[in-house]
Homo-oligomer: A and B are copies of this chain.
Amino acid sequence: MATIHDVAKKAGVSVTTVSRVLNNRGYISEKTRNNVFRTMEELNYQPNELARSLLRKQSNLIGLIIPNVSHPFFSELASYVEYYAYQQNSKVLLCNSHMDPVKEKEYIEMLKRNRVDGIIMGSHTLEVDEYRNLNSPIVTIDRQIDENIPFISSDNYRGGQLATELLIQKGCRKIAHICGNLKLNMLANQRTQAFEELTGRHNIEHVTIQTDMNVFDQKQYEHIIHTLLQEHPDVDGIFSTSDIIAAFAIKECVRAGKRIPEDVRIIGYDDVNAANWIVPEITTVKQPIEEIGRLAIELIRKQLEDESFERQNILPVKLIERATT
């Protein structure tokens, strides 16, 4: 690959001059500028960003750690994160932690070795301390680690409320709730909290089932819902904390000969694209995925540029009524 020296030599100017046109500094005549640019094209020159980053102490890399991109929610998030990163000339390093603490730690160290400008954590399995002395800009999605580490989440409590209220209002008498692992200290647990408070207050029979949601084990989903329907055949409402699990709920209900929404009403969460192409279309609580992605990039940038920023970013959710309720 051509270096700046090759360009300088071929263009018959000094390296400093080439650098000057590259970075638009100091005085450069139109003639020289064009000459240099032409030479760059001829040599197919691309400045070495590794060298630049080394000097500038800025890599323009952003690490994105998520459980798995193959999960629709995270794939959509990743897509938006990449989109907004690109807008500000940053690149995204993709890391699938598979919710494995060892991998997560290795990824964090890898990202530090690569001197990323910031880390977006959509996965969180480590001890709080591990994140504290990271001394790299960071933002977490749906996990509140510490007073100082900014997080983005949607209004989980409100979401749980909207979903539960809808089912109650539609007349459900026994509602099942499928959520992630409550031991993980995730803000999404507030959905469950809202669910239990509301069903309790309205005195509605309810059952809560935990899954390892984020590892995205489809066999497990199937099994859990199958068991649920067997053990509680009188369930007439299901509030699932992800659209994908809601899809499996639909599948199992159909298999069990139950009609949706007549016999069982189902509501999901997230409003991923898939919620829309499934029949019946899934009623769900929409998370503003694009805004989450956009804001994540913005928060990294603000930390980098020492602008002030909110520690707590709770975005609004919205009930999307479709065919399963």
User: In the complex, which residues of chain B have a beta carbon less than 8 angstroms from the beta carbon of A59?
Assistant: 50
* Pair A94/B92 contact, Cβ less than 8 Å: yes
* Pair A133/B254 contact, Cβ less than 8 Å: no
Within 8 A of B (CB), among A275-320: 276-279, 281
* Pair B48/A54 contact, Cβ less than 8 Å: yes
* Pair B250/A50 contact, Cβ less than 8 Å: no
A49 at the interface (CB under 8 A from B): yes
- Residue of B50, B82, B91 near A50 (CB, 8 A) is B50
A240 at the interface (CB under 8 A from B): no
User: In the complex, which residues of chain B have a beta carbon less than 8 angstroms from the beta carbon of A281?
Assistant: 251
> 7 closest Cβ contacts across the A-B interface?
A75-B75, A70-B79, A247-B277, A46-B113, A49-B113, A46-B112, A94-B94
* A interface residues, Cβ below 8 angstroms from B: 1, 44, 46-51, 53-54, 59, 64, 68-70, 72, 75-76, 78-79, 82-83, 91-96, 109-110, 112-115, 133, 135, 218, 244, 247-248, 250-251, 254, 273-274, 276-279, 281
Q: Can you list 6 residue pairs at the A/B interface with Cβ under 8 Å?
A: A49-B113, A70-B75, A79-B96, A91-B93, A91-B110, A251-B277
